[in-house]
Structure 1
Amino acid sequence: MSNLAARTRRPAGETRALLLETAIERVSREGLRIDFANLELEDLIRAAGVPRSTVFRIWPDRDAFIGDLVRALFDADPGFEAGFDEETLELLEHAIAEASKDADPAEARRAVLRAVVRRTTAHNIVAVEDSVTWRAYRTLSAALVSGDSVPGGESIRTLLGEIDRRYVSRMATVYRRLNESLGLRMRAPLTEQDLALSIMAVIEGMSDHRRIDPLGVDRPRMVATGDEEPEPWHLVGLAVHAVYEAFTEPAG
């Protein structure tokens, strides 16, 4: 069967999946540019080996395709919304389980919080920076905030809003469980959603600066944050810990 015949006979669903897969692979290799210059439809059609006529029946223009591509990019990485990579989430879940078994007084549980934050944030900021989805999210967010023209801008703005809301809801649930296990509560009138938003802002800001000055951000700081001896902290860990301390108080 010739390549032309194969292209002609592809059903629309297969054509859609192949073109999106080809585009996602390219973004994984080259990153997502604000103007999507490396994602021209004609070039992707040739690379995917799909019929041009079917592509333009599915997506009437490039903006429609870009909107679907961005959604598919995030759908391909469902862990993105959790804010943490899988290994970091496992560390958090383990800490919650261990703290729930412990009947230690409040200060000992604060020590558990410090250990959780110190261990997870240093690992997580590196993991999110290595995530194609996270980099795409930051690129699109920066473009929309700056007012730059982005193909599919309104649909992408809507999508990013949906992702933000799901992220905040997911993280609020994690922090609520962590607070309960550590005997903490939110300082009135703050909520776990406020905590999630603030920590998200810290991580986004620090990851942006890390691109400019990785050594300045990643250099360990020997700090004593409680009764323990000074320990090596990643700068983002200290910042997140400070936010957590400011937002919470002992429950009893």
Structure 2
Amino acid sequence: MPRRAADETRALLIRIGMKMLVTKGVAAGVQHIRLQEVLRHAGLTTGAAYRLWADQTEYQKDVAVAVVRHRADHPTDQARSRLQSLIDEKAPLDEVLRQGALGHIGLETFASRLFLVTLALRTTADSWPELTEASRERHRDSIEKFADYYSYLMSEYGYRMREPYTVRQFSEAMAALGDGFAVRTLEGLPHIMIEVDGETWPLFGIAARGLVREFMEKV
């Protein structure tokens, strides 16, 4: 087998560590992602790793930052794929909110698992400056993309932001709400479901509807 360049070896070991972290989940940060096990998966010797990182902690730091920076897909792609047909059919906005919330809590994909792992890492980001910055970059990017998406929804349904609110402030509130319910998932807590006017709503959807009614008004 031809010898890998240092950059190729580094990328390989980071990828394996990321996959192991997403598969195993977060336990005390990334301390359970052991470099020796990663090397065994890669079929490499210890020397290959320690030419790239001074110690295991430096490797774990790079894995954590790589996970936080990684995007399995566009932040709004899942929402668009789940809801676009409803929007095209001019389904009531409440139904769009309900279905969006049901999809958010019901996803069992690699992307959703990656999001939960990323969220867990972000809650401990203050331990490493590099992780803090990667977390902030991810948040800024998400807010920008969702602000665009919410502006599109408002245009489709004839809504505008109520004074003195902005769409960015609404996006921040929705992000905080979504992150909060995701933390419940990490804790293993069941989703709270409520019957409202003959329809089953997740509590997340009811809360999102409350934000819409506070922040927005019909044109």
TM-score higher than 0.5: yes
- Match of residue 241, structure 1, among 192, 209, 219: 209
Could you tell me which residue of structure 2 aligns to residue 45 of structure 1?
A: 39
Give the Cα separation in 2 of the matches to 1:68 and 1:112. 45
**Identity between Structure 1 and Structure 2 (%):** 24
Map residues 13-24 of structure 1 onto 2, 5 A cutoff.
13-24=7-18
Contact kept? 2:22, 2:117, Cα under 8 Å: no
| 1:243 Cα deviation from its structure 2 partner | 0.5
- Match of residue 126, structure 1, among 106, 119, 124: 106
Q: Secondary structure at the match of 1:233?
A: strand
Larger radius of gyration: 1
When the two structures are aligned, how many residues end up with a matched partner?
Answer: 217
Instruction: Supply the RMSD in Å over aligned alpha carbons.
Output: 2.5
- Match of residue 158, structure 2, among 178, 183, 206: 183
For structure 2, list consecutive stretches of 5 or more residues without a partner in the other structure.
none
| 1:161 Cα deviation from its structure 2 partner | 0.3
Map residues 185-204 of structure 1 onto 2, 5 A cutoff.
185-204=160-179
* Aligned partner letter, 1:114: D
| 1:129 Cα deviation from its structure 2 partner | 8.6
TM-score, normalization: structure 2?
Answer: 0.85
Could you tell me which residue of structure 2 aligns to residue 139 of structure 1?
A: 120
* Aligned partner letter, 2:102: A
Give the Cα separation in 2 of the matches to 1:248 and 1:120. 18
* Aligned partner letter, 2:204: V
Could you tell me which residue of structure 2 aligns to residue 222 of structure 1?
A: 195
Contact kept? 1:19, 1:50, Cα under 8 Å: no
TM-score, normalization: structure 1?
Answer: 0.75
| 1:248 Cα deviation from its structure 2 partner | 0.3
Which portions of structure 1, spanning 4 or more consecutive aligned residues, are displaced by more than 6 angstroms? Answer: none
Contact kept? 1:18, 1:48, Cα under 8 Å: yes
More helix by share: 1
Could you tell me which residue of structure 1 aligns to residue 81 of structure 2?
A: 90
For structure 1, list consecutive stretches of 5 or more residues without a partner in the other structure.
1-5, 100-110, 225-229
1:70 aligns with 2:67: no
| Cα displacement string for residues 118-148 of structure 1 (whole angstroms, at most 9, x for unaligned residues) | 111111122279723222222123324xx6x
Using the TM superposition, name which of 122-131 and 199-208 deviates more: 122-131
Q: Secondary structure at the match of 1:9?
A: coil
